[in-house]
Structure 1
């Protein structure tokens, strides 16, 4: 089972992914760890970079699922390479998509204040451009978490509900 967090930069995807691991023992895979060495000095919208990144992410996710039953990872979900990766993963695994939403202002504030060593650095202008594209795309997901300064216990409850609904569905099918 793959839980895929999709949303704007700064919406809280990383934090929510960490909560999956901390509270539910579902491994959070940091895809930026795969993307950072590929990026080098290329721009975040470089087509070859994006193609390489999503190929690396798909291979990494597949490899990670050989070692565990479930995992969670994150993406803004914007490119055709993301779309192809998602279709490929859905052909072999149960993928639960979770939209993570927050106001654009809050997202930008979070990006400015977060630990830049674990994220790919982007300018405020790039954050706004990417986040506007995420909002415009309005990707439909299986679940939505509105993350405008929710407390950790509240987010943990939402995650528990999502996990429980998927366990119930899985049990009905078997």
Structure 2
């Protein structure tokens, strides 16, 4: 197996995956890849739950992640972790790279509030009903990540400290090298 490493943030829309991804980049020097940018480019007029669109999105994400790993040894990206297309992508990436999944959780009402107040130019714009529907599917899927963070209004400092403690724990258990500061 390749020693290149992927940290995959999985959780509801509005749980803080992008925020935490940016912390990986800023504080640990692990590149945060905004895969939603790729999804936005290929969306066209299709619905966010269009099967052909979802298949294409996850194929594009996997290709993009593999391309990025030609230039770096570690990266982080995010997903809601839904659909069989996600599952296929994750399985394929795990064959070739060290993948650590990190569940990002937050209260459902807080997630919706965050989605309503975030910069819509960098996210796929969807209705409150779509957010609630997607987030309910994420909760009911109950994906079992390798690690978890409960992001209920934590500060950047608190998230950094939590990630540092997670990496120390993982270093002992899974031989993950703690990122350089």
TM interval, short-chain normalised: over 0.9
Identify the residue that residue 91 of structure 1 maps to in structure 2.
95
Match of 1:170 among 152, 175, 180: 175
Does the CA-based 8 Å contact 2:82-2:141 persist in structure 1? Answer: yes
Whole-Å Cα distance in 2 between the matches of residues 46 and 167 of structure 1? 40
Whole-Å Cα distance in 2 between the matches of residues 99 and 108 of structure 1? 17
Q: Does 1:154 align with 2:163?
A: no
Give the unaligned 5+ runs of structure 2: none
Match of 1:8 among 7, 12, 37: 12
Give the unaligned 5+ runs of structure 1: none
Whole-Å Cα distance in 2 between the matches of residues 54 and 171 of structure 1? 26
Q: CA deviation at 1:158?
A: 1.3
Q: CA deviation at 1:171?
A: 6.8
SS of residue matched to 2:104 = strand
Whole-Å Cα distance in 2 between the matches of residues 127 and 62 of structure 1? 29
Whole-Å Cα distance in 2 between the matches of residues 63 and 97 of structure 1? 20
Identify the residue that residue 76 of structure 2 maps to in structure 1.
72
Q: Does 1:105 align with 2:109?
A: yes
Q: How does 1:9-158 map to 2 (within 5 A)?
A: 9-158=13-162
Residues 54-112 of structure 1: per-residue CA shift (max 9 Å, x gap): 00000000010110010000000011000000000000000000000000000000000
Does the CA-based 8 Å contact 2:167-2:176 persist in structure 1? Answer: no
Whole-Å Cα distance in 2 between the matches of residues 130 and 14 of structure 1? 17
Q: 1:10 to 1:16 in 2, by over 3 A?
A: same
Which is richer in helix? 1
Whole-Å Cα distance in 2 between the matches of residues 166 and 12 of structure 1? 22
SS of residue matched to 2:78 = strand
